Structure 1
Amino acid sequence: LVAVYIKGMAMGAADIVPGVSGGTIALIAGIYERLINALGSIGPSLWQVFRQHGGIKGLLAVWRQVDATFLLFLLLGIATSFATLAGLIKHLLDNQPLLIWSFFFGLVIATVVILLSEIKRWNAARAGLFVIGIVTAVVISNLPLLATAPSLPYLFLAGAIAICAMILPGISGSFILLLMGAYDTVLEAVHTFNLTVILTLMAGMATGLLIFTRVLKWLLSRYYQGTLALLTGFIAGSLVKVWPWKVDALGTLNNEAINNVAPWQYPAGAHWLTT
């Protein structure tokens, strides 16, 4: 359980960085399939499990059915990261962007290498799924940001899509909120404790999570190798988003850097050794 808690902290730390997915860390840590199975078991069928046993025994049966101890310690780890590491990671992103992006870039490369070795028998379909994953992640990473004033139904939809992205390795939920123009609204709502916005977003996230994880659970149980190829493609495609050497539209270095450049074109120097 301590190991699960630490893995949860690592997932939380990754989710803080826009462009890095906690799902990637779950795959590296070897808990991704267990997480999907646990989340995918949450649904109306739990009421039948409870009724079958009744009382305390029913609650314990439901607890075991959803692997709740695992989920609890994982969530505690994620919450700990949000509470303790958010400030540190934001400071590093603002003041040492090259180093923190280099760390995550290396992490993603290592993940892709490890996962490719897990795919035992390559064929045209699996190779195609891998390429589709790469292209999808690259396209999403290069979409223009929306600058709209989100309504509550739009926030519900944004929450549902963002939580799906958060579960998918390689695609960041916070980056999806940024793309959909809801990121600033959500941050402001958390800061001002706007319950209407927070609860709407949480309802969307819960809906998306319950539907999407059931689909993923089914895919992993029926088409494990093909699904793994697709997920690995998502992760490989996210390398575009976590490329360390970034500049703004004018070619200068700042905290809002969005364009990737070659290391030797980076205004502050490539810093080969440290990167």
Structure 2
Amino acid sequence: MTAADQKPQHEAALSEQTASNAEIRANADIAQQPDSRQPGRSSNNAPSGMTHDVINVVRGFCMGAADTVPGVSGGTVALILGHYQRLIGAIRRIDSDAVSMLFKGKFREAFDYVDGRFLGALGLGIGTGIVTLAGLMHWLLDNRMPETFAVFFGLIIGSAWIVRKFISAWSPAGVIAVVAGAAAAVAIGRLSPTDGGGSLAYLFFSASVAICAMILPGISGAFILLLLGVYHPITGMIKELAKGQVDANALMSLGVFAFGCLFGLLAFSRVLHWLLHKHKDVTMAALIGLMLGSVEKLWPLQMPTPETASLKMKERVMVSVPPGEWDGSLVLLVGLAIGAAVAVLVLERLGEAFQANHPNENVG
């Protein structure tokens, strides 16, 4: 073979080697880039400025505020504000892979994997909302219950109207899911609160159950706590903590309660994530049913029975009455309900505008 024949072959081999090296470098770069299929690794989750962080803190604050009210769900707020699926997806990623990264010292990778920036901002807002408003909700439920219930009645109705848009196609199964969800919410709402238990194990159990309700639109985690008899003790501890009155036993109880919430959240989020991805329409229909069924408990026209009228609000037995038997201002309650529903619709419009400018914000 002549030198002239060898030259093209040499150039071809050199070109092939260069291409191979370029491919290796490209693969290495790809391996270091975020995975767009994962909620915590999308390009959207790179540091995006204080604007996104502030928005997520506000979202969390709204969720925390809702979760302090028996009858209202923080999950409903997450749906309205457009970050529900991203939240469930991020929580689901707190798994063995994330723990493995931590043990290997890959803290940044673990933080990105679980969408840590999003969860951190949201968690800060939720905690702030709960601590800030626990005392206020105590006062409102004790002194302005009809007006408070009217507002949340309107919020739930407006929310259910919004959530219907998440269903791409209605089916007989979807209709059945709505009816079943509504029936379940009504049945839960008619349960009688218990006196609860004072043990730490009971607190852990109550927190695990209630947190599952808190991330389900339509089921109030606060109301579940009320049914289990731990709502007033827990919110009372939080109110005292916010005042700077720290008690060792209260801190222990709140710590156990927090671990119970974490356990329930991690376990239930996987089930919910699977349902939303495999059976989204039916799942959303069931959530609408839960929301509609929950309004029975939030009927604003409630009066205490004669036997309990002189007791504290948390000790009273309330019964619903028709508008004709209500001795308060119906116009005020109707106005509050309508105003709340309109506020939800306006908030949803703002959320749509934000999503249009940030299409990856709700990745789940």
Aligned residues: 271
Q: Which residue of 2 aligns with 1:202?
A: 258
Contact 2:73 2:216 (C-alpha < 8 Å) held by counterparts: yes
Distance 2:234 2:134 in 1: 16
1:265 aligns with 2:321: no
Matched ranges for 1:140-219 at <5 A? 140-187=188-235, 190=238, 191=240, 192-194=247-249, 195-219=251-275
1:235 aligns with 2:283: no
Change over 3 Å in CA distance of 1:107–1:82 after alignment to 2: same
Give the C-alpha shift of residue 135 in structure 1: 0.7
Distance 1:86 1:47 in 2: 33
Q: Which residue of 1 aligns with 2:138?
A: 90
Q: Which residue of 2 aligns with 1:72?
A: 120
Distance 1:184 1:95 in 2: 15
**Structure 1: 5+ residue runs without aligned partners?**
none
Letter of the 1:232 partner, please give it. I
1:110 aligns with 2:158: yes
Letter of the 1:215 partner, please give it. V
Contact 1:150 1:181 (C-alpha < 8 Å) held by counterparts: no
Distance 2:206 2:102 in 1: 33
Distance 1:68 1:106 in 2: 33
Give the C-alpha shift of residue 91 in structure 1: 3.1
Structure 1 vs Structure 2 CA RMSD: 2.3
Distance 2:236 2:147 in 1: 28
Judge which range, 19-28 or 97-106, deviates more: 97-106
Distance 2:319 2:172 in 1: 33
Distance 1:245 1:73 in 2: 37
Judge which range, 154-163 or 184-193, deviates more: 184-193
Distance 1:106 1:203 in 2: 33
1:226 aligns with 2:290: no
Give the C-alpha shift of residue 105 in structure 1: 1.0
Letter of the 2:274 partner, please give it. W
TM-score (norm 1): 0.89
Contact 1:246 1:257 (C-alpha < 8 Å) held by counterparts: no
Rg larger for: 2
Judge which range, 12-21 or 182-191, deviates more: 182-191
1:5 aligns with 2:57: yes
1:246 aligns with 2:292: no
Judge which range, 125-134 or 39-48, deviates more: 39-48
Distance 1:132 1:72 in 2: 35
Q: Which residue of 1 aligns with 2:108?
A: 60
Judge which range, 91-100 or 253-262, deviates more: 253-262
Distance 1:147 1:85 in 2: 24
Contact 2:167 2:280 (C-alpha < 8 Å) held by counterparts: no
Distance 1:30 1:176 in 2: 25
Give the C-alpha shift of residue 63 in structure 1: 0.8
TM-score (norm 2): 0.69
Structure 2 counterpart SS, 1:259: strand
Distance 2:141 2:84 in 1: 27
